[in-house]
Structure 1
Amino acid sequence: MAIKGSILTNGLKYSLATGNWGDQKKAASAKAGVSQVLNRYTYASTLSHLRRTNTPVGRDGKLAKPRQLHNSHWGLVCPAETPEGQACGLVKNLSLMCYVSVGSESAPIIDYMTGRNMELLEEYDPMMNPTATKVFVNGVWVGTHDNPQQLVSNVQELRRNGTLSYEMSLIRDIRDREFKIFTDAGRVMRPLFTIENDAKKPNRNHMIFNRTHLEKLLIDKETDTSGLNDEDRASRQYGWKGLLHDGCVEYLDAEEEESAMIVMTPEELNDWRDVVKEGMPEAEKLDFSKPENRAMRLAPLKPPVNRKVNAYTHCEIHPAMILGICASIIPFPDHNQSPRNTYQSAMGKQAMGVAITNYALRMETMMNVLYYPQKPLATTRSMEYLRFRELPAGQNAIVAIACYSGYNQEDSVIMNQSSIDRGLFRSLFYRAYTEQEKRIGVNVLEQFEKPTRMDTMRMKGGTYDKLDDDGIVAPGVRVSGDDIIIGKTAPIPNDENKEMGQKMANHTKRDVSTPLRSTENGLVDQVLFTTNTEGLRFVKVRTRTTKVPQIGDKFASRHGQKGTIGITYRQEDMPFTRDGLTPDLVINPHAIPSRMTIAHLVECLLSKVGAIDAQEGDATPFCGVTVDQVSDLLEAANFQKRGFEIMYNGHTGRKLRAQIFLGPTYYQRLRHMVDDKIHARARGPLQILTRQPVEGRARDGGLRFGEMERDCMIAHGAAAFLKERLFEVSDAYRVHVCDICGLMSPIAYVFFPFLLLLRATC
């Protein structure tokens, strides 16, 4: 029995295209979202999408436990980046340093342990040796050993010097007398600095990573590796592989981490070693009531030394490594209320910027590109490695936090129209339209051409005038709603029945052209004509539009502080400082207290210092930067230390009664624009079954008058209005009724040329 090849091909194509894994006929029961289209909105959203994990638990369940953050997630799963709503806590993102194991052979380690006095399971007698430690490899009990401490230290040494794979997980459970080894794939692991525990070595209780290794890494920085491929570059440099080989860094999975003692920072390790091992006195607690200690009251407090710890085995690389891709872009996330970091992690994926360097050559379905993207004045260390400086998604706007004219209430913002005219947050929008010739029957093909009304039926309402003879609009031509941009016809077979009376004798083709979306306009930017794998012609047409910020467009800072433009004022109407500086944005002060986005204010302060000193401010989390430290730098530059400015009303010229907090803050333009949302309808298409208007903006649908609206009208007693909404403008229609039987008649009155009037028969 043979299977037709096209059935499998088309089935796989359908599954990969839609993500519904299974037969097209059983799409309702198929597993959804197995394949997804890679998000190309910003570079951060692309990276984040590649590091996303899904928990296959029903979204409707009320179970809280699978959604909650667990202790074992530390350093492996981002605590901030998860969606809101039903998928909250079920869709997670891997942390920056998280690595998924590829897997390696388990046979070599079993052979090694067998040669080191491991008693195989077949030979084990529990009566003879009841205290022996069981040895498991990938969950399978392979044998026992009498001296587990020596075995474990031997195997750990082999892993550290690179003889065994760095992916291997070694867990010794002393209580249960078990030694578990895992070499399988799919375990999430993270790297940590190793601490020497061997009593015979002089550097005991010190990190193995030392100045020698640091110097090798600094030499790498100076080595010119331009023009080399990855393999040659790796062979020339010491790099990460060198650190792994020298045992400075070790990968631990969640299970091995349970049996490790991890210190947070090298400084804490030094304090612990001084106090516990060398008997030095612990630093005294400062009395903040004393005048000489008052300046230290806002300094980060060091945690007390844990005297119960006998030995540390590992040290964290940096606490900021617990965060994922999107949360690593937030400056000072440790100064924000945690939901705000979650909101920004979602909004950072919707920000416009430069998604990819070759955007001008790509035919993406949709793409937004910011005209003048800037790198932020307040950056985190992680951004350097996420390429955020090279591919940014926002601009540094001068932001004032003030109530001004009342048009920035409830998360709306006032924007400087003069700044907009100069190009602030201006963006390009690209959309690609794709068509290909399809085969109808064996030899008959659809054809790209400019259809004519003479020989083509079912022509669309838009204009065909902009098409060239090949059926494509030339680059540079301006197009607007419902213009045809790809002309295509399908031949009508001669034996086909006349379709609803539209086919005339001279109609040989049917129009299957592609119109521009009715709500869009712009220029044809690029046309790509090629052939697909089957040798059929295939075309992509990309349109380009400039999107200028206007009332209703959405913006957000990097702290979940989103808002839409409430009004735009010209520069002369905006408040100004004594130096003549006017803000680009005015946001409402009520956005700050309840949301507790203190990092928003600290970022503004640090960016102000950065702008004055012409350098970037380091806003990496958990680095102990205090507001006082930033304030002192601002004060040293002859500014008010807390970032306030005396400002004057742009309308009247009078001094404002309050001092205004003003400074640069990095803002993102989000994809939600009012032009893509505006929708109204007077008349339009109806559903065939119910004769009610169709749903959705894309289909020119109606606005639903729902149950609650109906209830209000009943409460008002507006019977005529209710009849109009629910009947006259919804699904009213006329039918012909037979005079004799009173039933609906398919034919009413038929007029013959000689004025003879006939009625339809019952």
Structure 2
Amino acid sequence: MLADGYIEYLDVEEEEGSFIATDLNHLYNQKLSYTHLEIHPAMILGVCASVIPFGNHNQGPRNTLQSAMGKQAMALNSTNFNIRLDTLFHILYYPQIPLASSKSLEFITAKDLPIGSNGVVGIACFTGYNQEDSILFNQSSIERGFMRSMFYRTYTEIETRVENDSSKERITEINLEKVSVTDASDFTKLDRDGIISPEQPVVGDAVLVGKVIEFAPDIEGNERKPKNVSLKARRTEFGHVDTVMISTNSKGHKIVKIRIRSKRVPQIGDKFASRHGQKGTVGMTFRQEDLPFNIEGIIPDIIINPHCIPSRMTIGHMIEQLSSKVASLTGVEGNATPFYGTSMHDISRELHENGYQKLGNEVLYNPFTGLRMDNQIFFGPTFYQRLRHLVDDKMYSRHRGPIQNLTRQPTHGRSVHGGLRFGEMERDCILSHGTSRFLKERTFEVSDMFRVHLQRM
């Protein structure tokens, strides 16, 4: 069809002067002078937006939001991730193929490298810990491996040599008697070659590669102590050494790459999202015996707040949940391609034929009393993504640390162990409570107060 001229590729400038119909109904019914017809209406969407199930039923900004969050979701980023030494990446333990998916998912081979897992989701207010955008998680599901992931970070050290320079770098074992060390670094985990060995546990500031700068003798011919410039892990790092690679770069310099792995189990504060821009952080986890259940004993993995639906108008989220429920009952994957024309009546009819309420609502029972809950709950499987925003990477506190020489105030930034800013709004809140001594302590005594000796002239 391409050779015969039935299919034509248009660039952005050509589209400006073209009148394109999205489907055959527009072409025949509107009686307008169209110049082209889309192969499929979903082709008007980009790669990320085209895989959103029933995306045509969502509010536009939610699809834009998911297009960004889909790139933050944990997945199998490649089939050879185990031998790659990327700077950092997350790998989901048990990714799954969605029960309801867009046709575009096959074209980009996303079914071979899924970006999430199917979980049983209930939309309900329960215990008050899922207010706003917080969600409840089933702790028993987490312990069975639900949404568990592995995080990898690679550190690189290069033994550089500069021509016509009296000093040189060398990767070696650190001898504290012969090397000038200015901090309390731990060199005990290094091997004889100065490099940490695989499977060694790593915590913050652990030395991974021992390296020194060796200087030429001074003018009088005296030997100078080598300077310690060893590679250390980040302050917040924790895990085990996964891989150590020793090689040379294009300039012939020795290069060492060390990959650290750490297991990341879902916990309070971690961020999750459906494929419809319905993102939220875990507000509380409950064991399965403390979560509501239906008449078949099925317990939800996730409970989200019902107030997230009316204002955001992500109707595609609800249709996906119904379609996934039908797919789990019939064993046939649901077609959730945008603009495909999937009928809600057909989904409801199949649900009803399989013995369920046609709108997806179910009677659940209170786990604390065993009594039936007052209202029916919208209940069924939905595909969820685990995003890379984890509480372990964001949690931070400081009791004392470095200060700036100019202002004598704490440095700024988590990576340099800086302080947390006490701003204008925080000051106003403290003032409104009348706690002046606490205000003085925060803004002066634990910030830039210092004492200096003065001589009376």
Bin of the TM-score, shorter chain as denominator length = over 0.9
Show the counterpart of 2:113: 391
Partner SS, residue 251 of structure 1: coil
- How far apart, CA to CA, are the structure 1 residues paired with 2:216 and 2:434? 59
Partner SS, residue 525 of structure 1: strand
| Residue 457 of structure 2 corresponds to residue 737 of structure 1 | no
8 Å contact kept, 1:455–1:507: no
- How far apart, CA to CA, are the structure 1 residues paired with 2:126 and 2:430? 38
| Residue 274 of structure 2 corresponds to residue 551 of structure 1 | no
The structure that has the greater radius of gyration is 1
Partner SS, residue 368 of structure 1: strand
- How far apart, CA to CA, are the structure 2 residues paired with 1:330 and 1:534? 47
Per-residue deviation, 1:650: 1.6
- How far apart, CA to CA, are the structure 1 residues paired with 2:54 and 2:212? 58
Could you tell me which of 40, 65, 69 is aligned with 1:318?
A: 40
Show the counterpart of 1:245: 3
- How far apart, CA to CA, are the structure 2 residues paired with 1:689 and 1:541? 37
1:705-761 CA-to-partner distances (Å, cap 9, x unmatched) read 11222334444443322322222111122222224x2xxxxxxxxxxxxxxxxxxxx
- How far apart, CA to CA, are the structure 2 residues paired with 1:386 and 1:245? 24
Show the counterpart of 1:753: none
Call closer, same or farther: CA 1:717–1:634 in 2, change over 3 Å. Answer: closer
8 Å contact kept, 2:212–2:226: yes
- How far apart, CA to CA, are the structure 2 residues paired with 1:708 and 1:525? 45
- How far apart, CA to CA, are the structure 2 residues paired with 1:548 and 1:538? 33
Could you tell me which of 164, 187, 191 is aligned with 1:442?
A: 164
Q: Which runs of 5+ in 2 are unaligned?
A: none
- How far apart, CA to CA, are the structure 2 residues paired with 1:546 and 1:686? 34
| Residue 333 of structure 2 corresponds to residue 611 of structure 1 | no
Partner SS, residue 430 of structure 1: strand
- How far apart, CA to CA, are the structure 2 residues paired with 1:604 and 1:682? 47
- How far apart, CA to CA, are the structure 2 residues paired with 1:697 and 1:736? 33
1:247 corresponds to which letter in structure 2?
A: G
Show the counterpart of 2:342: 625
| Residue 424 of structure 2 corresponds to residue 701 of structure 1 | no
2:302 corresponds to which letter in structure 1?
A: L
Could you tell me which of 186, 192, 198 is aligned with 1:463?
A: 186
1:246 corresponds to which letter in structure 2?
A: D
Show the counterpart of 1:472: 195
Partner SS, residue 252 of structure 2: coil
- How far apart, CA to CA, are the structure 2 residues paired with 1:252 and 1:687? 57
Partner SS, residue 258 of structure 2: strand
- TM value normalised by structure 1: 0.58
- How far apart, CA to CA, are the structure 2 residues paired with 1:261 and 1:711? 58
- How far apart, CA to CA, are the structure 1 residues paired with 2:418 and 2:19? 62
- How far apart, CA to CA, are the structure 1 residues paired with 2:307 and 2:174? 59
- How far apart, CA to CA, are the structure 1 residues paired with 2:440 and 2:260? 44
Per-residue deviation, 1:486: 1.2
Per-residue deviation, 1:510: 0.6
Count of residue correspondences: 455
1:104-154 CA-to-partner distances (Å, cap 9, x unmatched) read xxxxxxxxxxxxxxxxxxxxxxxxxxxxxxxxxxxxxxxxxxxxxxxxxxx
Call closer, same or farther: CA 1:325–1:496 in 2, change over 3 Å. Answer: farther
- TM value normalised by structure 2: 0.95
1:417 corresponds to which letter in structure 2?
A: Q
Call closer, same or farther: CA 1:508–1:322 in 2, change over 3 Å. Answer: same
Could you tell me which of 204, 207, 211 is aligned with 1:481?
A: 204
8 Å contact kept, 2:94–2:147: yes
- How far apart, CA to CA, are the structure 1 residues paired with 2:54 and 2:261? 37
Per-residue deviation, 1:462: 2.9
| Residue 433 of structure 2 corresponds to residue 433 of structure 1 | no
Partner SS, residue 471 of structure 1: coil
| Residue 144 of structure 2 corresponds to residue 422 of structure 1 | yes
Could you tell me which of 336, 340, 346 is aligned with 2:68?
A: 346
Q: Which runs of 5+ in 1 are unaligned?
A: 1-242, 273-304, 498-504, 742-762
- How far apart, CA to CA, are the structure 1 residues paired with 2:303 and 2:202? 36
Partner SS, residue 604 of structure 1: helix
| Residue 207 of structure 2 corresponds to residue 490 of structure 1 | no
- How far apart, CA to CA, are the structure 2 residues paired with 1:364 and 1:697? 23
Show the counterpart of 2:277: 560
Call closer, same or farther: CA 1:256–1:522 in 2, change over 3 Å. Answer: closer
Q: Please give the residue correspondences for 1:110-149 in structure 2 after superposition, counting only pairs within 5 Å.
A: none
Per-residue deviation, 1:551: 0.7
Q: Which has the higher contact order (CA 8 A, sep 6+)?
A: 2
8 Å contact kept, 1:457–1:507: no
Per-residue deviation, 1:267: 5.4
| Residue 133 of structure 2 corresponds to residue 411 of structure 1 | yes
Per-residue deviation, 1:635: 0.9
